[in-house]
Amino acid sequence: MIWVAFLVMALVATAFALFPIFRPDTAAVVPSDAVPAVLADQLEEVRRDLDCGLISAAEAKAAELEIKKRILSVVRRTTSEEHGPGAGGGRAGAILAALFVPLMAFGYYTVNGAPDVPALAFADRAPERAEEARIVDLAQQLHDRLQNDPNGGASEGWMLLGQTYMRMQRFEDAVRAFETVADRSDATSATWSMLAEALIGANAGTVVPRAEAAIERALEIDAMNPAATFYAALAESQGGDDAKAYDVLTTRLTEANGYAAWMDSYVARINRLAQETGKPRVAVSDYASEAPRGPSAADVAAARDMSEGDRADFIRSMVDRLASRLEAEPDDLDGWMRLGNAYKVLNERKNAIEAYSRAQELLEAAAQDDPRRQVVDYALRDLQG
């Protein structure tokens, strides 16, 4: 199911989902290349997860197709806005169209329109359609329950609803859900950074003033919030100061206390900025004393050359090694999350629930606005049906 594939991608940047983001402000705005760049990163992440055996070929194909559709949508909107009244940033839009329309139109046509490629049978889409319908129904039920609550509905419920809308790309609805909590005294830094993300998503990838205000508020509450810092850097980049955006991100990396999942996305963005500014490229190992544990590049390369049976055994051995390591290091929260996801992909539901439950226990000592809470809660709800 495509939602599983997107959950896998979300784990790479657990502290903040790097969702693509869109709607022009009333003032003329310059479309940024940030969204296609983020989506291109997501494509690479899907392919890495496929190589590592973390998602199936079908899930990878579905995720890649969805990302390519979103890139096409971004380009079309950017192009139309260039020729509309009050539109700005014609050069940036032209560059986007020149770079991404041929590439992504080809990828989209290859799957959806090529005469020599058989279409996906309507019946084969039934599970995906059923899952999407189920999520829409659950979101509506949650909305109605919160809306009809005489006490205004629990903040946790509104946050969950907002995140669900984000996954559905209903950005305006997500904004309203997050704003409900932002107006309350229990709003956290994560509340404001998620609101900023939704506002960016509703504004064509542009960090509009309302989003900037939300970012500033998030950083006032917690200056170490990696999501807020990332979007602050995005605002600098969209304002034409790539060098400052680079410095904002690298400074935050130097403040990290060991490896965290969001560092991979920071490094990917920094290295894109490095190409624009001439500043040096970086690696996670430059900032984290302990690199993330997983298959090496050599492991992935070797897996590509294996037979299907050998590859399955290889993937199983990696999962077993991770499970064995966690027995010796039971406090590795991110490790339990990775193990839970691996078991989920392998359709070992019981083991996946157990791994995510261990992660949930460790999260009891974490901050209330730790974004990993939502990732683990969503995974457990999905597994437990």
Q: For the chain, which residues make up each domain, given as ranges? A: 2-124, 129-286, 297-384
Residue 374 in this model has a pLDDT that exceeds 90: no
pLDDT grade, residue 32 (50/70/90)? Answer: very low
pTM: 0.53
Find out whether 103 and 128 touch, Cβ atoms under 8 Å: no
Top-confidence residue, 15 or 57: 57
CATH of 297-384 among 1.25.40.10, 2.170.120.20, 2.60.40.3140, 3.40.50.1820: 1.25.40.10
Q: What is the predicted pLDDT for the residue at 351?
A: 92
Domain spanning 129-286 has what CATH number? 1.25.40.10
Mean pLDDT score, 288-317: 65
Find the mean pLDDT for residues 313-335.
84
How much of the chain, in percent, has pLDDT values that exceed 90? 31
| For residues 109-134, average pLDDT | 54
- Are 129-286 and 297-384 equal in CATH topology? yes
The pLDDT of residue 284 is above 70: yes
Instruction: Give the closest residue to 203 by CA, choosing from 227, 178, 179, 174.
Output: 174
Measured in whole angstroms, the distance separating CA 61 from the mean position of its chain's CA atoms is: 17
Is the pLDDT reported for residue 4 higher than 50? no
Q: Is residue 340 within 8 Å of residue 356, measured between CB atoms? A: yes
Q: Can you tell me the distance from the alpha carbon of 176 to that of 153, in angstroms, rounded to the nearest whole number? A: 13
Q: What is the pLDDT of residue 135?
A: 80
pLDDT tens by residue, 80-102: 444 444 444 444 443 333 334 33
Tell me the mean pLDDT in the region 9-30: 37
